[in-house]
Amino acid sequence: MIIREAEFVTSSTKLVQCPPPDLPEFAFIGRSNVGKSSLINMLVQRKQMATVDDEFVDRSLSFIEDSVRARQPFFLWHNPTR
C-alpha cells in the first residue's frame, strides 16, 4: 500500500463529532507508549501524529484521512490511551 496523501480531519471526545461513517476505517488501539502514533507516522511517511513520552495524553479520537494508490480513501483513527 502506498499512501499518497494524508491530512488531519478532526479530534473529538464525543461520537457525534466523528466524521460520517461513509469510508472504511482502521483503528489503532493499544496501551500507552507501545508505538501507535509512531506506526501511523510511518504509514503516512511523515510526522503527522505527535508522539509523547508522558503516559497521560488527551483521550480524544484523532482522525487522519488517507488516499492510497487505488484512490479509495479511508480513515485511520488513533485512540491515545493512558
Q: Examine residue 17 and state whether it is found in any structural domain, yes or no.
A: no
Q: How far is CA 24 from the centre of its chain?
A: 13
Those residues whose C-beta lies under 8 Å from the C-beta of residue 82, and which sit 6 or more positions away, are 32, 55, 56, 57, 59
Structural domain that includes position 74? 23-78
Tell me what pLDDT residue 62 has.
52
Total number of domains in the chain: 1
Confidence of residue 82 (pLDDT cuts 50, 70, 90): low
Tell me what pLDDT residue 54 has.
42
- The answer, yes or no, to whether residue 57 has pLDDT greater than 70, is no
Average pLDDT for 14-37: 80
- Lowest-confidence pick of 32-36, 66-70, 74-78: 66-70
Q: Examine residue 4 and state whether it is found in any structural domain, yes or no.
A: no
Verdict on whether the full-model pTM lies above 0.75 = no
